[in-house]
Amino acid sequence: MNFRSIRAIYIFEMSRFFRTLLQSFVSPVISTCLYFVVFGAAIGGRIDAVDGVSYGAFIVPGLIMFSVMTQAVSNASFGIYFPKFIGTIYEVLSAPVNFLEIVIGYVGAAASKALFIGLVILATSLFFVDIEIIHPFIMIFLLLVTCISFSLLGFILGIWANNFEQLQLVPLLIITPLVFLGGSFYSISMLPKFWQVVSLFNPVVYLISGFRWAFYNNSDVSITASLFAIIIFTVFCIFIIFLIFKTGWRLRP
Amino acid sequence: MTDMLSITGLSKRYNDGQVALENVSFDVKEGEILALLGPNGAGKTTLISAVCGLVVPTAGQVTVGGFDTRSNYRLARSLIGLVPQEIALEPFEKVINTVRFSRGLFGKSPNDDQIEIVLRQLSLWDKKDSKILQLSGGMKRRVLIAKALAHEPRVLFLDEPSAGVDVELRRDMWKLVSDLKSQGVTIILTTHYIEEAEAIADRVGVISKGKLILLEEKKALMKRMGRKKVEISLQSPIAVIPAKLQNFDLYLSDDGLTINYLYDAKASSNEITKLLNEISISNLQISDLKTSQSSLEEIFISLIEEPSK
């Protein structure tokens, strides 16, 4: 394993994040405050506690997952698409590195950024609601794996995209709806029976449910199913990236 | 000297059916400078890309420093530095960071002393904390070279290094290439500027339509294919070349003041003496005499045009 190369890619990618640190920090803080004002205070006041948890506290895990997933995809896809767009990808492709080292560098940086945002949202939430984390290790594990797996997905999108429109298209049309409908702001059990069954085909449901379980010990699906889903999803993304580098698809003509 | 780069039967056919390289084979010795000439779309960049791992070859084998670029790509690529044709740099990054990145990417330990040497060599030290977007086009090209040299490569590929650069940078680059050669670095450059190949290359290769149609020592090539020209300036204009001189391969300038004589540089005959005698007998008064040898450019054009004739 060429750790120096991984380190170089990671530091170079993170430097983009640090250049816009204020924006990276302020943006999730403001959006979290807005969510708490709208969902927590305005609407949440009219909603009963969900499974014994106040609505304001209930939405915290979903809110974190929502931001982590979208930010991970967005950071990772931009992280690899931008070098493709401006042509600097030539350097990475001609360097003595294998696919795993490239992925660890780029995805590691994107996942770190998403993790930072997730933690900022969690910290901001503490100002609005009382939060208890019953299973902290599972919570940390799920948060980390979600950051990594969605960064892997973003990495694939960044390689696939041929223009900025395509780069925005999949997150906008597929990922954001899946995350919104994945129980970020509600429990699946609140839905009519038919839509509960439909929701089970949404992989994001398993991630948010598992994450909420780590906080409050209650979930829409079993924690085992959640852990299984996230691991399968991560392995699947790694396999796709392996195939991309093996065939050179969209990278090496 | 040992072969630093060895290319055998290299071919590349793109998915759209376009054949960019066809059975190209050649070796480059350690410390040698090879200039690859060829028109746009000839396959020069594809050749470099195939060696550097940017393009997957359809067939053939490439070794760098004895290491196969596919089965032993880590060792092979760690020896290579690549300066691409297009300026491709992260616009918001500082110069020094982008060069540090290149060194780390190629697996080298951080060494700011080495980076300072490279940046000073390219007159970039004063700009080390400038963002790339603040630099001029020429400076950006220097950064590309600095990045390629950051990991101390043994083989340097320069893809059209002089495209769009001013005379000063071109001269600096030639000096740098010369310095690198003295350190034993092997250099392969593609260029449109024949004078560049003429000035710095040891050998010249000509690529046309994906095929290497010639690879020869520059001096030998110029001697073999170069033609010499004698320009004889006359004191008074003439309308036609006198009959006595018709046996020579002469042509008259439009103003009738210069007679041009083309002859083979390698021919060892006394044709010029005869010509001058005949001119004297014809009562033509010579005001000046100038000889010149055909440039690599003229040789290159004649090579490219020949197959299509």
Residue B45 has pLDDT above 50, yes or no: yes
- Sequence spans of domains, chain B: 3-223, 227-293
Q: What confidence tens digit (pLDDT) does each residue in B161-177 have?
A: 877 778 888 888 888 89
- Residue A172: band (very low, low, confident or very high) from pLDDT cuts 50, 70, 90: confident
Is the pLDDT at A48 greater than 80? The verdict is no
Of A4, A8, A94, the CB nearest to B52: A94
Q: Say if the Cβ atoms of A5 and B15 lie within 8 Å.
A: no
Distance from CA of B247 to the nearest CA of A (A): 57
How high is the pLDDT of residue A138? 94
> Is residue A153 very low, low, confident or very high in pLDDT (cuts 50, 70, 90)?
very high
Name chain B contacts of A97, Cβ cutoff 8 Å.
74, 105, 107
How far, in Å, CA of A139 to CA of A161, rounded?
Answer: 32
3-state helix, strand, coil in chain A (%, to 5): 80, 0, 20
**A186: DSSP letter:** S
CB A71 within 8 A of CB A112: no
pLDDT, mean over chain A:
90
DSSP letter assigned to residue A87: S
Pairing mode, strands B227-234 and B258-264: antiparallel
The answer on pLDDT for B308 being more than 70 is no
The residue in chain B having the minimum alpha-carbon distance to the alpha carbon of residue A4 is: B107
User: What is d(CA A107, CA A66) in angstroms, rounded to the nearest whole number?
Assistant: 18
Question: How far away is chain B from the Cα of A148, in angstroms, using its nearest Cα?
Answer: 22
Q: Where does B227-293 sit in CATH, by number?
A: 3.30.70.100
Task: Please tell me which of the candidates A8, A88, A98 has its beta carbon nearest to residue B104.
Answer: A8
Q: Tell me, what's the pLDDT at B104? A: 96
Q: What is the mean pLDDT of residues A101-121?
A: 95
Average pLDDT over residues A189-208: 89
- CA distance linking residue A150 with residue A130, whole number of Å: 28
Give the per-residue pLDDT at B280. 86
Q: B3-223: CATH homologous superfamily?
A: P-loop containing nucleotide triphosphate hydrolases (3.40.50.300)
Least confident range of A24-28, A67-71, A160-164:
A24-28
Q: If you average pLDDT over residues A86-95, what whole number do you get?
A: 94
Percent of chain B residues topping a pLDDT of 70: 95
For residues B294-298, average pLDDT: 71
Instruction: For B223, list phi and psi in degrees, rounded to 5.
Output: -70, -40
Determine the average pLDDT of the residues in A152-159: 95
Report the residue of chain B nearest A253, measured CA to CA: B55
What is the distance in angstroms between the Cα of B238 and the nearest Cα belonging to chain A?
59
Structure confidence at residue B309 (pLDDT): 41
What does the alpha-carbon distance between residue A195 and residue B17 come to, in Å, rounded to a whole number?
50
Query: Is-contact B68 B62, C-beta < 8 A?
Result: yes
Is 80 exceeded by the pLDDT of residue B124?
Answer: yes
Q: Do A11 and B103 touch (CB under 8 A)?
A: no
- What is the token pair recorded at B81? 């530095």
What is the pLDDT averaged over residues B77-87?
A: 94
Nearest CB neighbour to B92, from listed A19, A93, A97: A19
Q: Which residue has the higher pLDDT, B76 or A56?
A: B76
Indicate the length of chain A as a whole number. 253
What does the pLDDT read at residue B89? 94
- Using the predicted structure, report yes or no on whether residue B281 has a pLDDT greater than 60: yes
- Indicate whether B54 pLDDT > 70: yes
Among chain A, residues having any CB pair with chain B shorter than 8 Å are 2, 4-5, 7-9, 11-12, 15-16, 19, 83, 86-88, 90-98, 248, 252-253
The mean pLDDT of A194-203, rounded to a whole number, is: 88
Shortest distance, CA A132 to any CA of chain B (angstroms) = 42
Report the pLDDT value the prediction gives residue B1, as an integer from 0 to 100. 65
Q: What pLDDT, on the 0 to 100 scale, is given for residue B267?
A: 61
Q: Is pLDDT larger for residue A46 or for residue A183?
A: A183
The answer on pLDDT for A55 being more than 80 is yes
Query: What mean pLDDT comes out for the span B26-31?
Result: 94
- Mean pLDDT within B133-153: 93
A90-104, B78-92, B213-227, B236-250: least confident range: B213-227
Q: What is the ipTM of this complex?
A: 0.88
User: Residue range B154-160: average pLDDT?
Assistant: 94
Query: Which candidate in B95, B98, B105 is best for mutational testing of the A interface (most A CBs within 10 A)?
Result: B105
Is the pLDDT at B266 greater than 70? The verdict is no
Residue B15's pLDDT is: 86
Query: Does the pLDDT of residue B298 top 60, yes or no?
Result: yes
**What φ, ψ does residue A202 adopt, rounded to 5°?**
-90, 110
- The Cα B21–Cα A37 span in angstroms is 64
- List pLDDT tens digits, range B186-210: 999 998 777 788 888 999 998 988 9
Q: Which of A116-125, A156-165, B71-80, B288-297 is the least confident region?
A: B288-297
Which pLDDT value is given to residue B81? 96
How much is the average pLDDT of A141-159? 95
pLDDT, position B265: 64
Structure tokens at A18: 């640090």
What pLDDT band is residue B110 in, cutting at 50, 70 and 90?
A: very high
Mean pLDDT in residue range B97-107: 96
Category of B128 on φ-ψ map: left (φ > 0), alpha (ψ -120 to 50) or beta: alpha
A214 close to A139: Cβ distance less than 8 angstroms: yes
Choice among A42-56, A138-152, B144-158 with the minimum mean pLDDT: A42-56
Residue B306 scores a pLDDT above 70:
no
What mean pLDDT comes out for the span B136-145? 91
Which of A88, A92, A104, A244 should one mutate to test binding to chain B, selecting the residue with the greatest count of B CBs within 10 A? A88
**A96/B107 Cβ within 8 A:** yes
Residue of chain B minimizing CA distance to A89? B88
Compare all CA atoms of chain B with the CA of A105 and give the residue at the minimum distance.
B105
